[in-house]
């Protein structure tokens, strides 16, 4: 499929910004996106906007998409807030793609924004902990760290996955993120540090978990026919897929598989006429280190249960044959919930066009890449495949 193109992408810095709210953050990403459009962008040409968002910093429960759009100068267009927890951004991207694919609009904006550091620690845990199954999982005393720890424990039990392998995900992603000027944590960590982090939800420690982050991102999606009006080097949407799964882990067929990732990627591969083997690089949802290992398996990069060895063999390093999370991933870049999915698309857009800010994390000559965004512990998943 080469009917839909991405012609611009922008991202705010990710981190803690007391001086910026969702409006300002979104506008920062929007301006960055506009500047990335090679032949210039007249904002009046944007016909619709899909905004991924979960909590709006706790203040705007409804109608936030109109608010951030008008602040950025987009008035009187269809806007929609897309909420699928941590996969909100990925679904906003898919919504924009489907809009253009349907022929309704030629040019649509997909974006995402989250303001997480405005609220107290208690409220943060409230926002973060109620996108799993609230009735049973939350009331058993877990937040997402606990839920992913349940998966990790079982993965270790069934496949012999090692503590060091979980930590190696964090080490790799921090190494990459250290080369990302927009990442929240631009510093490397050692394996020893990562292994000995303070326990949050055993077996997961602090270095297995991503942080709370402020940030926004924006991606300009258009009909391939008009793409060259914006740039000579568009990135095309080769395929996409989304899937739900049982919200509560205890209801799932397998505790160690995100069926949503499997289904969403199978659909995306089929639409693109590709297989996992064709994917040259990926931005996957590593909200917890175990989540990246699950992604390797469920996206088909390796067999079920073999993610640990697959990581150890170096395939997913920037120097490997299939770099994963060259951006630093959620782990190092930060995870501003609603922005994460379109933020991954921002990275992929630049990777495929060779325009990554720091050449040290530029993956050489990549043509086909995949972005993978997971909501909660896997209740919603989106996968989008892009090619040059």
Binding site residues, other proteins, CB under 8 A: 122, 125-126, 129-130, 134-143, 145-146, 149-151, 153-154, 157, 198-204, 206, 246, 248-251, 255
CA distances from 227 to 4, 38, 45, 192, 257 (A): 8, 11, 12, 48, 38
Nearer to other proteins, 83 or 133 (CB): 133
Q: Which residues are designated catalytic?
A: 86, 335
- Shortest Å distance, C-beta 154 to other proteins: 4
Name the β-bridge partners of 111: 51, 218
Write the DSSP string, 108-151.
Answer: EEEEEEE--SSS-HHHHHHHHHTSS-TTTTGGGT--HHHHHHHH
- Shortest Å distance, C-beta 234 to other proteins: 42
Cα torsion 331, 92, 84, 102 to 10°: value is -140
Nearer to other proteins, 191 or 199 (CB): 199
Nearer to other proteins, 196 or 250 (CB): 250
Nearer to other proteins, 263 or 353 (CB): 263
- Shortest Å distance, C-beta 256 to other proteins: 9
Nearer to other proteins, 140 or 191 (CB): 140
Whether 88 contacts 341, CB under 8 Å: yes
- Shortest Å distance, C-beta 267 to other proteins: 19
Question: From the centroid of its chain, how far is CA 176?
Answer: 16
CA count, 13 A, side-chain hemisphere, 4: 30
Whether 227 contacts 13, CB under 8 Å: no
Tokens of 251: 């209801």
- Shortest Å distance, C-beta 291 to other proteins: 15
């Amino acid at each position: 499929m080469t009917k839909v193109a991405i012609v611009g992408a922008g991202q705010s810095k990710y981190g803690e910004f007391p001086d910026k709210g969702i409006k300002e953050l979104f506008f920062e990403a929007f301006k960055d996106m506009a500047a990335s459009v090679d032949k210039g962008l007249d904002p009046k040409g944007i016909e619709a906007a899909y905004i991924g968002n979960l909590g709006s910093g706790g203040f705007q429960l409804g109608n936030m998409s109109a608010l951030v759009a008008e602040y950025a100068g987009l008035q009187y267009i269809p806007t929609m807030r897309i909420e699928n927890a941590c996969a909100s951004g990925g679904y906003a991207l898919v919504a924009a793609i489907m809009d253009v694919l349907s022929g309704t609009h030629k040019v649509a904006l997909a974006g995402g924004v989250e303001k997480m550091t405005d609220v107290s620690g208690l409220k943060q845990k409230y926002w973060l902990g109620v996108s799993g199954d609230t009735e049973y999982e939350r009331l058993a005393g877990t937040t997402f760290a606990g839920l992913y720890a349940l998966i990790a424990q079982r993965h270790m039990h069934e496949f012999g996955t090692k503590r060091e392998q979980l930590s190696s995900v964090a080490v790799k992603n921090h190494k990459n993120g250290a080369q990302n000027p927009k990442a929240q944590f631009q510093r490397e960590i050692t394996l020893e540090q990562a292994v000995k982090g303070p326990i949050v939800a055993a077996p997961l420690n602090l270095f297995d978990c991503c942080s709370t982050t402020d940030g926004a991102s924006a991606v300009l999606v258009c009909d391939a026919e008009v793409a060259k009006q914006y740039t000579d080097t568009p990135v095309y949407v080769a395929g996409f897929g989304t899937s739900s799964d049982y919200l509560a882990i205890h209801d799932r067929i397998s505790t160690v598989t995100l069926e949503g990732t499997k289904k969403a990627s199978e659909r995306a591969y089929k639409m693109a006429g590709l297989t996992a083997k064709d994917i040259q690089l990926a931005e996957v949802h590593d909200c917890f280190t175990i989540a990246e290992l699950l992604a390797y398996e469920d996206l088909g990069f390796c067999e079920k249960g073999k993610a640990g060895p697959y990581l150890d063999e170096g395939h997913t390093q920037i120097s490997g044959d299939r770099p994963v999370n060259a951006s630093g991933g959620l782990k190092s870049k930060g995870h501003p919930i609603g922005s994460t999915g379109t933020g991954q698309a921002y990275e992929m857009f630049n990777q495929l066009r060779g325009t990554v800010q720091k050449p040290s994390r530029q993956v050489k000559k990549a043509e086909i890449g995949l972005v993978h965004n997971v909501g909660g512990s896997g209740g919603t998943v989106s996968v989008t495949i892009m090619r040059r």
